[in-house]
Structure 1
Amino acid sequence: MNLAFADWAVMALYLLVVLAIALYCSRRNTSTEEYFVGGRRFRGWVIGLSLVGTSISSVTFLAYPADAFKTGWLRYLPNLALPFAIAMAAWFFLPFFRRGNLTSAYEYLEQRFGPSLRVYGATVFIIAQLVRVSMILWLLSLLIQQLVSIPPATAIVLSGLFVGLYTVVGGIDAVIWTDVLQTVVLILGGVLCLWVVVDALPGGLSQLFSEASRAGKFALAEWGEDGPRTTRWTLSLSEKTATMMLFIGLTNWLTEYASNQNTVQRYCAARSLVEARRALWVYLFTALPLWAFYMLLGTGLWVFFQHFPDPLSQEVLAGTARAETIVPWFITEYLPVGIAGLVVAAALAAAMSSLDSSINAVATVSVVDLYRRHWRPNREDRHYLAVARGAAALTMVLMIVGALWLNGATTRTLQDTSTILVSLLGGGMLGLYLLGFFTRTGNTFSAWCGLICTLLFTGWTLLSEQAWWPAALRAPFDLYYTGLIGNVLMFLVGYAVAHLSGRLLASRYG
């Protein structure tokens, strides 16, 4: 697949603008307060668009259209729980993080449950983010390889160095403003793709909707050999019903807005509580339509290739080619010169907006929660600023190394690594925060009891996936619900232990 000179020029211009933003923002980075939270002066609309950019990765740009192209809109269903999660975050979670000029999500854990829980939360976040950024960079390299004939290792190193460079130099100011730019480019790129699809169809947009509707392509259900299966709205732990998918979505979104440093750091960067709440609503009313739009793009590509079939589209539908290749193929083969370059820039933006946020967040947590709190307290601020830049640079290096390792690993190894490290170590974090937000009970001991029970539970479910594990000891539910059950377990155990220990102390000393 080859791009024209005009496409390369568009991409080069976009990358130069990103670097210019980083260099401009670097002039302000004279303190950790600026480097981590931008002086706490951002308006809500800026933070909101930045949140959109952070949450949108290669998954949105490639996987959403791929799913809608090959099946229906089931992937979109968990997103419908987002409004409730945003309302919870705006009115219940935000005040806890806006008190006392917090910088990290895990400072709250120390205030509520003690320093050991803060160290645990920070460590888990760093590990999970290193896995995440390595995977995103690896996926980005796959996209680059489909567009440009360069070796995989070269694609990983060059893209990783570029993102790391502007993040290390620019701090959170560069991250937020480049995320805003990347969100705009991502929206524009998707609009141009859909415009080309609709323009090629004789009946335009109405033809897209009518043909896709007849084929069941908008169904919020699993896809069978003959089309969408019946959508079930029952409560069940043994199958993926629509109701349970909404619960899964709610769990994921509450975790994102209650305990994810990428999000909490933006709460803290807003100039006021009102602006932070405004940011959440901007995010909601931008992200939900954007995700639906990219699902619609995938549906539109299905209609397009029904009328203009080619070998790759048939292979994707037959299952002999990866569905994620359909968007890059359409970009390089069907988009006009110049537009293709802008859409490729949008694809790069989708990945970079996630990578830069995570790099800066890892640096922030490493310095605020670990280095400054436990290893080197009471040093000058310029010392911590230098360490923060070093931590961001180290994160960039580890991200590149991780992506290179993933490039040489099998798909199964990739799945196992992400599942074990993220699901096992990160299990129960939402339940821990909810215990702190919504109850007055709980202390270090009860919180650790809940976490240990959750870790044991998650470990058991992971073992249940192994072929050698005894059938009698396997989990009697769909393992898709491990996170949901684990968070409930964390909350209930923590709450019960706190009450039980409180009664024992009362009876002993009362």
Structure 2
Amino acid sequence: MSISSLDIFIILGYLVVIALVGSFTGGRQKSTHDYFMGGSNVPWWAVAFSIVAAETSSLTFISIPGLAYISNLNFLQLTAGYLLARILVAVFFLPAYKTGQLSTAYSFLENRFGITTRRYASMVFLLTRIAADGVRLFSTAIPLALIFKTAHYFNDWSNFEIYALAIAIIACVSLIYTYTGGVKGVIWADVVQMSIYIGGALMALWVLLGYDYVSLKPAADAGKLTLFNFDWGTSIADFFRKPYTFLGALIGGTFLSMASHGTDQLIVQRLLTTRTLKDSQKAIIASGVLVMVQFTLFLFIGMLLFSFYKGVPLADPSVPFSKADEIFPLFIIQQLPVGVKGIIIAGLFAAAMSTLAGSMSSLSSSVVLDLYKPRLKNTDDRKELKISRIITVIAAVVLIFVAFTFIALNQSVVEIALGIASITYGGLLGTFLLGLFFKRADQKGAIIGFTAAIIVMILVSVLPITGLIKPIIHWTWFVLLGTIVTIVIGNAFSGKVNRGKS
């Protein structure tokens, strides 16, 4: 790996600037409403940018071009489901959140079922968010650790020490503006960070198009421009195992995005910062359009990389990569000019840190507003704000600790941890749908249904990664399955109508 002093300066400069932007744009907070909901006066377009930045990780930045290199455009079918889901969230979920003046996604569950359901959902969110984002923090630190390894200053450092330093730097920068700026600072930092990583991707595209022999023709000749996949398989079981079929992408993408954008506090927190219900609806729908454009850009880069490397397969020794996820990073490192390389690596950090900062804020808001505040009725704003900032620091420390544990663990364990978030989305969405559309559902049924979905999803999504069983369905169907289990079991164990707090 070769990286110049200018590139390192650009990367370090980015880290300093983003910390300052987030800190100063957050303004002064006088209460938890200011700290966690931005005073409910953030422009809808900034929230839309922030949503897209929050759902875009470094893994997305790296993996989607690689996916296009080894397959085709079928992945883009998911975005149709994503957009449809956000329209449904805008129509059915957001009115319940905004008109009810709710503070978190899970306060809706208290109003509908009772405080126990709210606490249960919040605890599940906390555990899965910590595990998943701890891994994302580790993956974000990898390129920074590789940069450190090229510097002579760290020749005597062990691998663990280098990775630990990289993890600590990224986490601390994210913590600075989350701690001082609150969710408003996080949102405005997200706007800047999305501009940086999209700008970096456009620079990579510009460099690729500068080569005379690079075009979309090789990808077209190889059938890689195929968008729709109407392959139904040879049996029902085969159909559900097929990757990125049209129905799997449309239906699966819809349920996945309904769960992530309608029930996950990481996203819902941002939607609660807008002035009005109409603004939050515009933000969520606009984010669906932006995601379509963003995924198209990264897939287009992958198609041009296929042309750049002349379509050589991964196993060929003539290319410097052996995995799809290595293709775009190695192109950045080996082919891009000085300065441009630093900007794109900064874009990689931007894609990751937006999720990380949002995670710290949403973890803190869920602990304070779902678990702490309901138990104490007479706390003043200043004390609540102080506790909120302390919890934000604790959330950062916990994420750092989780990331540290993955330094010495193998890749399969990392994959298992990343799969943890997928096992809860179906249960969360099913519980919210029970509350919205099934009057008979009560607290007991909701909790039993939620728990049943988690158990089923562990069997379906996690065990195949371990090799204990063969894959049963493709991951695009996971959330739908979990949702169905929750609704069926939840209704079966429900009794009388229960809309009061208990």
- Tell me if both proteins adopt one fold, taking TM over 0.5 as the criterion: yes
Paired residues, number: 480
Unpaired runs of at least 5, structure 2: 155-161, 498-502
- Pair 1:333-2:328 in alignment: no
Indicate the residue corresponding to 2:222 in structure 1: 215
CA distance in 2: counterparts of 1:95 and 1:80, whole angstroms:
23
CA distance in 1, matches of 2:46, 2:424: 32
Report the TM-score when normalising by structure 2. 0.88
Cα distance, 1:302 vs structure 2: 1.3
Change over 3 Å in CA distance of 1:69–1:148 after alignment to 2:
farther
When residues 103 and 220 of structure 1 are mapped into structure 2, their CA distance, relative to the original with a 3 A threshold, is same
| 3-state SS of 1:200 partner | coil
Q: Distance in 1 between matches of 2:453 and 2:103?
A: 27
Contact 1:44–1:270 (8 Å) recurs in 2: yes
Q: Indicate if the aligned counterparts of 1:316 and 1:326 stay in contact, CA closer than 8 A.
A: no
Q: Which residue of 2 is the match for residue 300 of structure 1?
A: 304
> Does the 8 A contact of 1:257 with 1:263 survive in 2?
yes
Q: Which runs of 5+ in 1 are unaligned?
A: 222-229, 504-510
TM-score (norm 1): 0.87
Question: 2:51, 2:377 → 1: CA distance?
Answer: 31
Using the alignment, how far apart are the partners of 2:100 and 2:436 within structure 1?
16
1:139-158 matched pairs, under 5 angstroms:
139-149=139-149, 151-158=162-169
Q: 1:243 is matched with which residue?
A: 247
Q: Which residue number in structure 2 is paired with residue 442 of structure 1? A: 441
Q: Is the Cα contact below 8 Å between 1:424 and 1:459 reproduced in 2?
A: yes
- Could you tell me how far 1:97 is from its partner in structure 2? 0.6
Residues 372 and 378, structure 1, Cα contact 8 Å, conserved in 2: no
**Partner-residue secondary structure (3-state), 2:210:** helix
AA matched with 2:187: I
Q: Does residue 1:40 correspond to 2:47, yes or no?
A: no
Pick the aligned partner of 1:492 from 488, 496, 502: 488
Counterpart in 2 of 1:507?
none
Could you give the per-residue CA deviations for residues 360-411 of structure 1, whole angstroms, max 9, x where no partner exists?
000000000001112x332111111111111111111111111111121112
**Deviates further, 436-445 or 56-65:** 436-445
Establish whether residue 50 from structure 1 lines up as the match of residue 47 from structure 2: no
1:322–1:365 CA distance, 2 compared to 1 (3 A): same
1:428 matched to 2:427? yes
1:107 aligned onto 2:107: yes
Cα distance change of structure 1 residues 452 and 158 upon mapping to structure 2, 3 Å threshold: closer
Contact in 1 for aligned 2:23/2:176 (Cα 8 Å): no
Superposed displacement of residue 270, structure 1: 0.3
**Amino acid across the alignment from 1:193:** A
Cα distance, 1:209 vs. partner? 2.0
- Give the RMSD, CA atoms, in angstroms: 2.7
Alignment partner, residue 198 of structure 2? 187
Matched residue type, 1:196: V
Equivalences for 1:264-283 in 2 at 5 Å? Answer: 264-283=268-287
In 2, the alpha carbon distance for the partners of 1:330 and 1:69 equals 13
CA separation of 1:466 and 1:260: change in aligned 2, threshold 3 A: closer
Q: 2: distance between equivalents of 1:94 and 1:348?
A: 31
CA distance change for structure 1 residues 477 and 359 in 2, over 3 Å: closer, same or farther? Answer: same
How far residue 427 of structure 1 moved from its aligned partner, in angstroms, is 4.4
- CA–CA distance in structure 1, aligned partners of residues 351 and 118 of structure 2: 31
Report 1:103-502 matches (<5 A): 103-149=103-149, 151-202=162-213, 208-220=215-227, 231-233=230-232, 236-240=239-243, 241-306=245-310, 314-315=316-317, 321-374=322-375, 376-419=376-419, 421-461=420-460, 465=464, 477-478=472-473, 480=475, 481-498=477-494, 501-502=495-496
Q: 1:46 to 1:238 in 2, by over 3 A?
A: closer
SS in 1 for 2:240: coil
Q: Secondary structure at the match of 1:450?
A: helix
Measure, in 2, the Cα distance between the counterparts of 1:390 and 1:321: 44
Native 8 Å contact 1:453 1:489 kept in 2: yes
1:466 and 1:57 mapped to 2: Cα distance? Answer: 21
- What is the identity percentage for the equivalent residue pairs of Structure 1 and Structure 2? 26
Question: For the structure 1 residues 330 and 458, does the alpha-carbon distance in structure 2 shift closer, same or farther, using more than 3 Å as the test?
Answer: closer
Q: Structure 1 residues 436, 28: CA separation in 2 closer, same or farther (over 3 Å shift)?
A: same
Q: In the alignment, which residue of structure 1 is the partner of 2:159?
A: none
Q: Deviations along 1:83-140, whole A, 9 cap, x unmatched?
A: 2101101111110110232120000000011111100111111111111211111111
Cα separation, partners in 2 of 1:120 and 1:210, compared to 1, 3 Å: same
- How far does the alpha carbon of each residue in 1:54-81 deviate from its partner, in whole angstroms, 9 at most, with x for none? 1111122101111112332333332221
Q: For residues 158-201 of structure 1, give each alpha carbon's deviation from its aligned partner in whole angstroms, at most 9, with x where no partner exists.
A: 21222122211221111000000011111111110001001113
Contact 1:54/1:353, CA 8 A, preserved across alignment: yes
Q: How does 1:7-18 map to 2 (within 5 A)?
A: 7-18=7-18
